[in-house]
Amino acid sequence: MSLFAPEGKGAIVGAALSLALTPLLPKPLKFAVTLAVSFGAIKRGVKTIAKEGVTSETMEAAAIAVSLLRGNYAAANTTNLLIAISQTIEHAIVRRSDDLLLSLSAPSSGLVWVKRDGEEIRIGADEARTGDIVVAYAGDVVEADGIVLSGAAAVNEAAMTGESLAVRKERGARVLSGSIVEEGRVEIYAEAVGSARATARIARVVADALNSRSQTQYRANRLADRLIPFSLALTGVTSLLTRDLDRIEALLQTDYSCALRLTVPVVFKAAMYRAGKAGLLTKSAESLEKLAKADTFIFDKTGTITNGELEVVEIVSLNAAWSKEQILALAASIEEHYFHPIAQAIVEATRKEGNTRHFQHTAVEFIAAHGVFAFVEGKKVAIGSRHFLEEDERIDFASARPIAAKTARANLTPLYIGFDGTLLGVIWLKDEPRKESKAALEALRSLGVKKCVMLTGDSKAKALALAKELGFDECRYELKPDEKAAIAKELRANGDICAFVGDGINDAPALLAADVGIAMQKGADIAKISADITLLKDDIYLLAAAKSIADQTIDRVNRGTSAMIAVNTAILFGAACGALTPVVTGFLHNGSTIATLALSSIKGFKLPTRKAAQTPRRSPRSRRAT
């Protein structure tokens, strides 16, 4: 530990020893010792003036140098000690925040087992290719994002989701890189490898976040720059009028720049640290600033306010020769090749029922956003939306009219099965609202959010029923994917400051179009890339935590800035009037900065409780987007 280090414990110990021992030393040694321990601060000030002009470091260096030359070693050592303490606190907070954010970049072993040409080989993680079959054994770190093809394992996803308990992963389950296999063995179809995998993307986001600055920070720096000439002018006027070197020395001890430049970024770092602890990854300090201003929250429905995990609730056969179990088995035989929420729900339903029947079929053809088809015993099986079967496959839906009416009333999603040109049956699925969705909306309103809007492609009746149940202010229904971004732009044009919350691939444009985009933990990769903030846990109530942290951050910055300006103005005029000595001035100026930094580190951010106050339910204003 060097006593002459520019910052850290060594600098504090050196400055403290110098302050305590200098009065006991002979005069030549007083100057030498004080110069030695304060040389770092003086050197930093000289370098700064050459690169950036007059800054807080320059003012501090000048104050220490003047005190040294005048033989006022107590003032020089006091200033140096307080500067060392403030910088040590600042760097401790920054390091703590940075370490936490970096810890969100999940672990990596650097090696991976892959199946190639029927054999398992060990290669570097960066050598894996999209489409590889990655094999993960107990104790392995998963090195690819993908879907489990075979096997079963208990997978710990704590590094990526914050969930400490291991999750069982079987065929069809999604696995994230950075997860650790605790038990079992799985073969994973690699969808994202190397720099495209989740851990690598998060690492890049974290690296950018650590170096980011908000507009608030830029404004604080500009304000600090504008106030430095005021401090210099006051020092010059005092010098001309009084010729009092004590007053000049005292005035040089005080400037606004130090307090403003240090405290504002530290408050943001502390906020990003707290957000990370709560399960929120913020891409930049500006993300928090924008979220604090948001007064309108726009939610995509599926996977955001609902679980996004469909469940089969009923099966109807429209052909007496086919039982419900046969229809489900037929659908599962074809859908098991398709990693889509509906397909996975069908396969899961057969597993729960113990339905093991399998229909041999030809290669499955996928029609994006419509459905799938294949041939069984030479007869075509089409599975998908009504639009797909009725308009593309020309299947008569006369027998399905009562079904369609019931579907709308029951808030269900229908999956139609056509066989050999006729409608064979329908499988009803339901995506339940998240248990915390309503509470999250109420918590956001308690934090000052004026409007919550739900967007969905569902029918009018289905959409309005859910919006009323959860208490949305407005609902837009029967939307096409590309209309979501247009709605975000429309609301912004009307003066709303919008936060968009989504999880799907088609949410990316809206996430970018809003003032601030927020992606769900289980969201699509492109959604997370497009968002300003990503939830690291599958908990929509974290939105209230994010909003609360953002609000408290800006409030702390504003109150801290006002307090620092008021305190330093009083110190400056006290020094100019001769009421404060250089030692007292240095103590008050640097002490107030230290106090602000310490409060940023110690004072916690309060998060909203789960028991948010109830608010009167308002009927959603229905409007179909065009």
The CATH number covering residue 145 comes to 2.70.150.10
Query: Does residue 496 form part of some domain?
Result: yes
User: What is the 8-class DSSP label of residue 507?
Assistant: G
pLDDT surpasses 60 at 150: yes
Q: Which domain holds residue 55?
A: 1-103
Backbone angles phi, psi at 477, to 5 degrees: -125, 170
Task: Quote the mean pLDDT of the chain.
Answer: 79
Q: Are 390 and 471 members of one domain? A: no
Q: Kindly report the CATH number assigned to the domain that includes residue 357.
A: 3.40.1110.10
Tens digit of pLDDT for each residue in 514-570? 999 998 887 666 567 678 898 988 899 999 999 999 999 998 888 888 888 888 889
Q: Where are the beta strands (DSSP E) in 157-216?
A: 167-169, 174-175, 180-192
- Scanning the structure block, which residue is given the tokens 């609360």? 548
Tell which wins on pLDDT, 165 or 77.
77
Least confident stretch, 63-77, 99-113, 363-377: 99-113
Task: Name the pLDDT band for 619 (thresholds 50, 70, 90).
Answer: very low
Backbone angles phi, psi at 231, to 5 degrees: -65, -45
Query: Does residue 235 form part of some domain?
Result: no
User: What is the 8-class DSSP label of residue 152?
Assistant: E
Query: Does residue 250 form part of some domain?
Result: no
For the segment 450-462, the average pLDDT, to the nearest whole number, is 87
SS3 106: coil
Domain boundary, last residue among 81, 103, 125? 103
* Structural domain count, the chain: 4
SS3 611: coil
Task: Name the pLDDT band for 106 (thresholds 50, 70, 90).
Answer: very low
pLDDT of amino acid 308: 72
Query: Does residue 189 form part of some domain?
Result: yes
Q: Tokens for 492, please give them.
A: 């912004």
Q: Are 486 and 528 members of one domain? A: yes
Q: Are 2 and 17 members of one domain? A: yes
Smallest CA-to-CA distance from 594 within 57, 85, 56, 160 is with: 85
Query: Does residue 458 form part of some domain?
Result: yes
pLDDT of amino acid 195: 61
Query: Does residue 582 form part of some domain?
Result: no
Query: Does residue 79 form part of some domain?
Result: yes
Share of the chain above pLDDT 70, in %: 78
Domain boundary, last residue among 430, 457, 489? 430
Q: Are 128 and 61 members of one domain? A: no
Q: Are 78 and 14 members of one domain? A: yes
Residue 121, strand partner residues: 114
Q: Are 360 and 447 members of one domain? A: no
Q: Are 332 and 416 members of one domain? A: yes
Q: Are 422 and 322 members of one domain? A: yes
Alpha-helical (H) ranges within 243-255 are 245-252
Distance CA 517, CA 123 (A): 37
Q: Are 302 and 316 members of one domain? A: no
Domain boundary, last residue among 430, 460, 492? 430
Measured over all CA atoms, what is the biggest interatomic distance in the chain, rounded to whole angstroms?
109
Task: Name the pLDDT band for 162 (thresholds 50, 70, 90).
Answer: very low
Q: Are 318 and 368 members of one domain? A: yes
Residue 312, strand partner residues: 429
Query: Does residue 332 form part of some domain?
Result: yes
Q: Are 97 and 117 members of one domain? A: no
Q: Kindly report the CATH number assigned to the domain that includes residue 522.
A: 3.40.50.1000
The answer to whether 525 touches 498, Cβ cutoff 8 Å, is no
pLDDT surpasses 50 at 17: yes
Q: Are 316 and 423 members of one domain? A: yes
